[in-house]
Amino acid sequence: MWQRITVGILVAGTVVLTPVLGLQVAQARMGQARVVRSGVEPTPGNSLATHVGALADVVGMPGDALTRSQPAAQPRPLARLQSDLANYLRDKSGRWGAYIFDLQTGDVAGVNANDVFPTASTFKVPMVMYIFDQAAQNRVDLNEKLSYIDDDYEDGTGVLQDTVSAGDTYAIRQLMELAITQSDNIATNMLLRRFDRQNVYAFETRLGGKVVTLDNQNVSTPADMGLYLRALFNPQVTTPVARDQILQWMENTAFHDRLAAGLPDGVRVAHKIGTLDNVCNDVGVVFTPGHTYVIAVMSEDAGEDYAADVIAGLSQLTYQDTGG
């Protein structure tokens, strides 16, 4: 059983969040992330939405860089959503956490948003962000080829497991796309062998993440996952080219049974699921004309099919309450 950490002001079973650099969470780091710098080069991508660039002007800078620039505006709670989320999750089986941040207004809502959960494959989002960060520093060429070795093999999600052979080579850019769109475990393992997961942990910590690893496993909180997604819209953290490419990959994922399933046809959602035994997560960005928002939902001990339905219902509730 994962250790549970709840941080914040508890009101009727709901954690009310305040911002640090845009989001204030208590010191809750578990495990240590070694800071080891390494590095890659931005790749062209298509814009997910015409107003994405404008969002960067609204979103506060997470992590140390914000402290070096200017104070973040105080987010206001989405009062109705805050209450509705608590009521919705109150009787659900398993353990749940959710975090929503309105990218236009800075409003925030969450339930158990600082509880610790296994990330499963949602970890692949900050991993890809880290590689793009290295690209921006010209430390690695995204066209660099990596060779597959037998130690990279892992079944589960992905397409490489059906075709890959020892010695096959893939560009870093191609592996990043597979890690997001197909949640490919082999592609992820090849990238982590090249870049080292400890560097990803250090990157998450630099962005302001409070919980990144526990017992050498990937863990996080809904608030921290939301913080990383918010960092996509800050050009001092993620270049616009990298942002657009990551969001495009997330929009074109092969998996649509959770956040996307709760939204009306035509609503654009860029998201990444994560699944393990007894773990069912989905994190992403929902694009609407008035209230584009970050949403991160994490669960444990609920059962995958049941949890997927709960996430879809929570996504629908959030969309309705934010005036989508």
Q: Average the pLDDT over 204-210 and give the result.
A: 97
Q: Distance between CA 176 and CA 183 in Å, rounded?
A: 9
Q: Are 183 and 273 in contact, with CB atoms under 8 Å apart?
A: yes
In a domain? residue 208: yes
CA distance 108 to 96: 17
Q: How confident is the model at residue 43 (pLDDT cuts 50, 70, 90)?
A: very low
Average pLDDT over the chain reads 82
Share of the chain above pLDDT 90, in %: 72
For the chain, what is the total number of helices (H) and then of strands (E)?
A: 10, 12
Note whether residue 297 is domain-resident: no
More confident residue, 279 or 10: 279
pLDDT value at 34 more than 50: no
Total count of domains within the chain: 1
- Tell me the CATH number at 33: 3.40.710.10
Give the domain extent around 157.
Answer: 9-14+21-98+113-279
Q: How far apart are CA 282 and CA 320, in angstroms?
A: 18
Q: What is the pTM assigned to this prediction?
A: 0.80
Domain annotation covers residue 275: yes
316: in domain: no
Mean of the pLDDT values across residues 76-82? 84
Predicted confidence band of residue 49 (pLDDT cuts 50, 70, 90):
very low
| pLDDT tens, residue by residue, 228-260 | 999 999 999 999 999 999 999 999 999 999 999
* Residue 239: per-residue pLDDT: 97
C-alpha distances in Å from residue 117, one per residue of 44, 165, 216: 33, 34, 14
pLDDT digits 0-9 by tens, 133-164 = 999 999 999 999 999 999 999 999 999 999 99
Average pLDDT over residues 29-56: 36
The answer to whether position 284 is within a domain reads: no
Q: What is the pLDDT of residue 20?
A: 30
**Which tokens is 202 given?**
């250090």
Closest to 201 in 3D by CA, of 33, 66, 74: 33
Say what the pLDDT of residue 74 is.
56
Note whether residue 293 is domain-resident. Answer: no
Whether the per-residue pLDDT at 126 is higher than 60: the answer is yes
Can you give the pLDDT at residue 75? 60
**Is 164 within the bounds of a domain?**
yes
DSSP annotation of 5? -
Say if 51 falls within a structural domain.
yes
